[in-house]
Structure 1
C-alpha cells in the first residue's frame, strides 16, 4: 500500500497560520505564551512565557532530522564555560498526516537583545569585555568533545562537502583535507549573540566541525563593515590563521559567492579578495 502522507508542506512560518502550534506548546509545557513578544522566522518561532522564560519552536521535515536527532539546544546544556541561556525542558511532536515534526525548547531569557540581523551593515561598537567573553566561550567550546556533527544550514558538514564547496578556489593538487575537528556552534552570526552582555544562543546545529568554522562564519557576516570583519579576524586569529581555519574561510566565501548571491551584496568583493589571498597562501605553503 502506498503511503498517503504528504512529503512537503508550505514552509514559511512568517506567513502561515500558527495558532494551533502555539496552543500545543502551551498545553505541552503547561505555561502561557505572551503573544505580544512573538518572533516569527521562516522555520522557527519564539516567545516569552508566563514563567519569564523563552521558548523556541522549530519545524523540520523528517529527512532534515537525521540519525543524531535535532536536540542540539538540549545537548548544549552540558557544555562548560560557554555563555548560553540555561535550558529547562522540551517537547516534540509529529504534525498529523505529514512528514514533519515540531520541537519546542524552553530556556532562560536572554541577558540582552540580539546584536542585529545575521549580517550587520553597521559597527555595533562592542566593548572589549564582549570580545573577551566571545573568545572565552569559543575557546571553551572548542576544547570539549561530542558525538554530534555540526549541521550548518541543517546540512551535515562533511569532508567531501567542504572539498566540493572550496574546489573552485584552489588549483589541482592542493590538499583540501580538514584535519582538526572541534565542537562548533555552526550558526554563529550577529542574530544569535547578545550585547552588551555576551551570550550565544540557537544551538540546534552545533557539533564537530573543522577548526575555524565559527570564526569564519562570524567574519563572513561582518564583511559589510570592514573594521568589524578585521576585528573578528584579529580576535580569532589563532583559529583563522591555522590551515583548517583557512579552509573554513574559503568554505564561508563559497557560500557568500554562491550563484544565487544578490549582485549588490557588499560582502561579495571582500569575499573574492580573501578567497584569492588564501588560495595563494595554500598554494605556496
Structure 2
C-alpha cells in the first residue's frame, strides 16, 4: 500500500531566508548568482548568473506534483515555435522532511521586462500578433500533461463545482473541447515590448479558452485592456467553452469570499451577468 503524502509546511520565499538554497543551486549548476537581480515570489526565486543566464528555483509540495509530473520545463522546451526562453538544463531534489520538491532551471534571460497592465494598451500590433500565434500553436500541440491553474489540476468536476457554487443558474458546464494551455497566462508572465511567454510549470491539457480567460480576467481592473483582450482572443472567449472559462476565473472574484477592494470586482460582476445570460440562452 502506498503511504499517504505528507503535508508540506507553508513557506513564503518572499520572506524565507534563501541563502542556503541559492548556494546549493550554485554548486549544482556551477554558476554564481548576481543577487542584486534576484526576484522573489511566494514559491519561486530567480536571479541572473555569471553565465548571462537566468535560473528560476521553484518549490512545490509533494501533493501538488502527483499526477502532473515534474518535467514542465523539459516538455515546454519542445514547443520550439512558441516564443519562450530557451531552456538549458536544471536540477531537481526532494526534501522529505518538509514534504516538498525543489527544482532549479537555467534558461536564457528574458528579452524584456514583465508587462505592466497599466501600460499594456501601448503594446504594438506585432506584440499581439506574436501572442495570438503562440497561443494558436500551443492549442494545436499534443501533450499528456494536465494543466494545474493555481497549482490545482483542472478537471471537469473542478470546473462544474467552481461555476455552480457561484452561478447556480448555469446548469450545463460540460467542456466540449480540451487543448494544451499555459495555464498561468497573467501579465507577469509575458514580456514587452518584445513578446515572450515564460513560467511554464502549470501547462498542460485544459478547457479550450482557459488562457484567453486568464489574461482577460487579469485585465478586468482596466476595462479598455479587458476589451482589447476580448478583441484579440474573440474566437476563444466567445465560444461556449471560453465563456465557461471566463466564469470559472470570475468565480473566485465575485463569489462569497469576494474582496470589496479588488479592482476587478465591478467589471467582473457586470461581465458575469452577461456570460450567465448568454450561456442560459444557449
Q: Smaller-chain TM-score range?
A: over 0.9
- CA-atom RMSD in angstroms: 1.7
Residue 151 of structure 1 corresponds to which residue in structure 2?
148
Q: Point out the more displaced range, 144-153 or 163-172.
A: 163-172
Report the 3-state secondary structure (helix = DSSP H, G, I; strand = E; otherwise coil) of the residue aligned with 1:276.
Answer: helix
Residue 190 of structure 1 corresponds to which residue in structure 2?
187
Query: Normalising by the residue count of structure 2, what TM-score does the alignment of the two structures yield?
Result: 0.94
Shift of 1:94: 1.6
Aligned residues: 278
Q: Does the 8 Å CA contact 2:253/2:259 hold for their aligned counterparts?
A: no
CA distance in 2, matches of 1:240, 1:185: 16
Report the 3-state secondary structure (helix = DSSP H, G, I; strand = E; otherwise coil) of the residue aligned with 2:28.
Answer: helix
CA distance in 1, matches of 2:272, 2:6: 42
Report the 3-state secondary structure (helix = DSSP H, G, I; strand = E; otherwise coil) of the residue aligned with 1:8.
Answer: coil
Shift of 1:260: 3.4
Residue 243 of structure 1 corresponds to which residue in structure 2?
240
Shift of 1:123: 4.3
Residue 97 of structure 1 corresponds to which residue in structure 2?
97
Q: 1:207-264: per-residue Cα shift (whole Å, max 9, x none)? A: 0000100000000111111111000000000111111001001101112224333212
| Over 6 Å off, 4+ runs | none
Rate the CA distance shift 1:18–1:6 in 2: closer, same or farther, 3 A. farther
Shift of 1:9: 2.5
For the pair 1:213 / 2:210, whether they are aligned, the reply is yes
Query: Normalising by the residue count of structure 1, what TM-score does the alignment of the two structures yield?
Result: 0.93
Q: Does the 8 Å CA contact 2:59/2:101 hold for their aligned counterparts?
A: yes
Higher helix residue share: 2
CA distance in 2, matches of 1:65, 1:123: 33
Rate the CA distance shift 1:86–1:216 in 2: closer, same or farther, 3 A. same
For the pair 1:231 / 2:264, whether they are aligned, the reply is no
Q: Any gaps of 5 or more consecutive residues in structure 2?
A: none
Q: Point out the more displaced range, 187-196 or 262-271.
A: 262-271
Q: Any gaps of 5 or more consecutive residues in structure 1?
A: none
